[in-house]
């Protein structure tokens, strides 16, 4: 009850437009909750790509920090389209979301002003090239840490753990990424992790591929798709925009999100890891999680940092 009160209070205080219908105990009928797969399936060569630089193992005020301070603004690659994570509120035109809260904390630490940020919208495909080219200092954009990417960019410690999960309508018989998908149409974004998983085996479902994960929600609402297979973080954003849609079953993969930076900016990586430690410890992470995600992705704790 206390939690519910806190939630209600927060809901009233946080300027979140059109707060999603809370899927709480009041929800009738059995709602299958998200459960996280605990098993790791790291590849042989690269185990635990989420291990990052320890802030205490070297300086966190070097060339990169000096460069940012000289420029006066932190240049961050973000998404404008991920509801709850990084999106532009159409009514105010301002950026908001879980990723954006983290960006502000980093900017405040480095530059002393949480608004000293130049937000640059980067398409998914441009995230790594932009970091390598130095057009952005970092990318905070629901970016999964994996073995392929750590060859090109440096990641902070994980700040969230997501996984591929099924999103469907309330009245659907689909129970998760399992045989209940047989004969159904599942929508996913072309080239996404969900697309790869469906190619490995779709449990008898027909796969519909669209350009953008959000297009799947349109297809679901129009009744052209029966379910959406996407990252539960993005799925949560979709569920928050449609009170009759929710995540079902368990996550099929485990995808830690990290802040991506240039491999050469070791001081910046340590700096961000230090900010993250404080962010997790002083309740900032929990506040942001409350504001944006808890309603649709309940029961998640900040992942513990892992260092090299």
Partner 1 sequence: MTHTPTGNAGSPDVRRGAGVPVPRGGVPVPPPGGPGPGRRRAWVESAARMRAAATTEPGRLRIIGAGLALLVVAFGAVTAWQVNDRSTAADNVVKHSAPLSATAAEIYRSLADADATVTGGFLVGGLQPKTVSDRYEDDITNASTLIAQAAANSEGSPQAHAQIAALNQQLPKYVELVTAAQTNNRQGLPVGGAYLRYANTQMRKPGGLLSAADKLYQIETDRLGSDYTRAKALPYVSWAVGAVALGALLWAQRRHYRRTNRVFNHGMLAASAASAVVLLWLVAGHTLARNQLEHSDAHGARSMQVLNTARIGVLQARGDENLTLVARGSGDAYEKNFTDGMTSLAGPDPKGVGGVLAQALQLADDSAGSDPVNAAVKSVQTWRGRHTAERKSDKAGDYTTAVAEVIGGKDSSGKDVKDTTGNCFDAVDASLQQAVTQEQKEFKSAADNGRDALAMLPYGAAALAVLAAAGALLGIGRRLSEYR
Chain residues that interact with partner 1, rule: CB under 8 A: 17-18, 75, 79-83, 87-93, 118-124, 211-212, 214-215, 217-218, 221, 237-238, 241-242
Closest CA to 3 of 293, 294, 241: 294
Q: Minimum Å distance from CB 235 to partner 1? A: 13
Q: Judged by CB, which is closer to partner 1: 76, or 252?
A: 76
Q: Judged by CB, which is closer to partner 1: 152, or 215?
A: 215
Q: Judged by CB, which is closer to partner 1: 90, or 112?
A: 90
From residue 157, alpha-carbon distances to 36, 134, 167 in Å are 19, 21, 28
Q: Minimum Å distance from CB 1 to partner 1? A: 29
Q: Judged by CB, which is closer to partner 1: 61, or 212?
A: 212
Q: Minimum Å distance from CB 289 to partner 1? A: 20
Q: Minimum Å distance from CB 253 to partner 1? A: 23
Secondary structure of the chain in the HEC alphabet? CHHHHHHHHHHHHCCCCCCCCCCCCCCCCCCCCCECCCCCCCCCCCCCCCCECCHHHCCCCCHHHHHHHHHCCEEEEECCEECCCEEECCCCCCEECHHHHHHHHHHHHHHCCCCCEEEEECCHHHHHHHHHHCCCCEECCCCECCCCHHHCEEECCCCEEECEEEEEECCCCCCCCCHHHCCCEEEEECCCHHHHHHHHCCCCCEEEEECCHHHHHHHHHCCCCCEEEEEHHHHHHHHHHCCCEEEECECCCCEEECCEEECCCHHHHHHHHHHHHHHHHCCHHHHHHHHHCCCCCCCCCCCCCCEC
Q: Judged by CB, which is closer to partner 1: 123, or 283?
A: 123
Q: Judged by CB, which is closer to partner 1: 121, or 185?
A: 121
Q: Minimum Å distance from CB 35 to partner 1? A: 26
Q: Judged by CB, which is closer to partner 1: 64, or 217?
A: 217
Q: Minimum Å distance from CB 130 to partner 1? A: 11
Q: Minimum Å distance from CB 293 to partner 1? A: 16
Phi, psi dihedrals of residue 245, rounded to the nearest 5°: -115, 145
């Amino acid at each position: 009850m206390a939690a519910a009160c806190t939630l209600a209070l927060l809901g009233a205080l946080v300027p979140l437009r059109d707060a999603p219908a809370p899927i709480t105990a009041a929800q009738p009928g059995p709602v299958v909750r998200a459960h996280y797969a605990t098993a790791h399936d790291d590849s042989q060569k690269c185990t635990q790509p989420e291990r990052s630089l320890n802030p205490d193992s070297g300086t966190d005020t070097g060339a990169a920090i000096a460069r940012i301070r000289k420029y006066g603004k932190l240049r961050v690659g973000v998404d404008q389209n991920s509801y709850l994570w990084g999106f532009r509120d159409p009514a105010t035109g301002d950026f908001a979301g879980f990723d954006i809260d983290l960006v502000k904390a980093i900017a405040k630490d480095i530059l002393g002003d949480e608004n000293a940020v130049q937000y640059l919208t980067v398409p998914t495909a441009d995230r790594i090239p932009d970091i390598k080219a130095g057009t952005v200092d970092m990318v905070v954009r629901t970016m999964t840490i994996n073995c392929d990417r750590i060859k090109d960019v440096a990641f902070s410690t994980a700040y969230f753990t997501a996984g591929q999960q099924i999103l469907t309508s309330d009245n659907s018989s689909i129970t998760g990424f399992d045989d209940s998908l047989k004969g159904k149409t599942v929508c996913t974004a072309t080239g996404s992790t969900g697309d790869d998983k469906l190619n490995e085996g779709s449990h008898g479902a027909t796969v519909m591929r669209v350009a953008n994960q959000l297009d799947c929600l349109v297809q679901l609402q129009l009744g052209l798709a029966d379910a959406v297979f996407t990252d539960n973080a993005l799925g949560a954003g979709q569920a928050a925009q449609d009170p009759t849609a929710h995540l079902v079953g368990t996550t099929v993969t485990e995808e830690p999100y990290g802040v991506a930076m240039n491999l050469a900016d070791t001081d910046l990586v340590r700096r961000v890891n230090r900010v993250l430690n404080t962010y997790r410890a002083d309740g900032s992470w929990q506040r942001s999680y409350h504001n944006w995600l808890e309603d649709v992705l309940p029961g998640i704790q900040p992942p513990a940092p892992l260092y090299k």
